[in-house]
């Protein structure tokens, strides 16, 4: 546990008959001495770290100057590369525009073909609808004819049933 100035200010010793408890005061003083020793050691280490960092910073500054010179040289190369890249980009763009135009033409042709296909499918659908309607009408007529013949059969069956009934006995 490290000591803070507030800990030292707030430390209270118990009073005995003849003053403070000597062992308690001695323990507190030992604790303060240990804390002070640790702070001095840390202070020494920090001063050494500051000295080392100053030397390191100086080395970084020298390297920074070297990098600045290298960057100025590389900037010239970079400008040349940019110009070459710009020219290449213009060529690529022109090529892409030609390809895009071809793709667009193919898409328009495909769209035209699709419209023709759709028109043909609509025509076929209409033909199929007409054929289905005629089939439905034919089946409806067959159902009506079948119903009429069933009604006729039912009527003749009822006559037969009346004939089959045993004669009523007259009393």
Torsion angle in degrees (nearest 10) through CA of 41, 42, 48, 50: -160
Domain coordinates of the chain in residue numbers?
Answer: 5-116
Confidence of residue 4 (pLDDT cuts 50, 70, 90): low
Please count the other Cβ atoms lying within 10 Å of the Cβ belonging to residue 31: 16
Q: Which residue has the higher pLDDT, 159 or 70?
A: 70
> Residue 161 has what pLDDT?
67
Q: How far apart are CA 146 and CA 139, in angstroms?
A: 10
Q: What is the pLDDT of residues 70-129, one digit of tens each?
A: 989 999 999 999 999 999 999 999 999 999 999 999 999 999 999 999 999 999 999 999
Considering the chain, what is the average pLDDT of its residues?
87
Span 145-168, average pLDDT? 77
pTM: 0.35
Confidence of residue 7 (pLDDT cuts 50, 70, 90): confident
> Residue 11: phi, psi to the nearest 5?
-65, 130
pLDDT surpasses 90 at 17: no
């Amino acid at each position: 546990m490290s000591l803070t100035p507030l800990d030292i200010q707030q430390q209270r010793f118990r009073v005995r008959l003849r003053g403070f408890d000597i062992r308690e005061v001695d323990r507190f003083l030992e604790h303060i001495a240990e804390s002070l020793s640790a702070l001095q050691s840390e202070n020494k280490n920090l001063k050494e770290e500051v000295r080392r960092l100053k030397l390191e910073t100086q080395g970084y500054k020298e390297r920074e100057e070297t990098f600045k010179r290298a960057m100025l040289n590389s900037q010239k190369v970079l400008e040349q590369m940019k110009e070459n890249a710009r020219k290449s980009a213009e060529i690529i763009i022109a090529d892409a525009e030609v390809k895009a135009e071809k793709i667009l033409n193919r898409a328009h042709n495909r769209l035209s073909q699709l419209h023709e296909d759709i028109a043909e499918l609509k025509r076929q659908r209409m033909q199929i609808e007409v054929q289905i309607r005629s089939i439905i009408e034919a089946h409806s007529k067959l159902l009506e004819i079948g119903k009429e013949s069933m009604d006729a059969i039912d009527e003749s069956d009822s006559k037969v049933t009346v004939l089959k009934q045993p004669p009523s006995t007259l009393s």
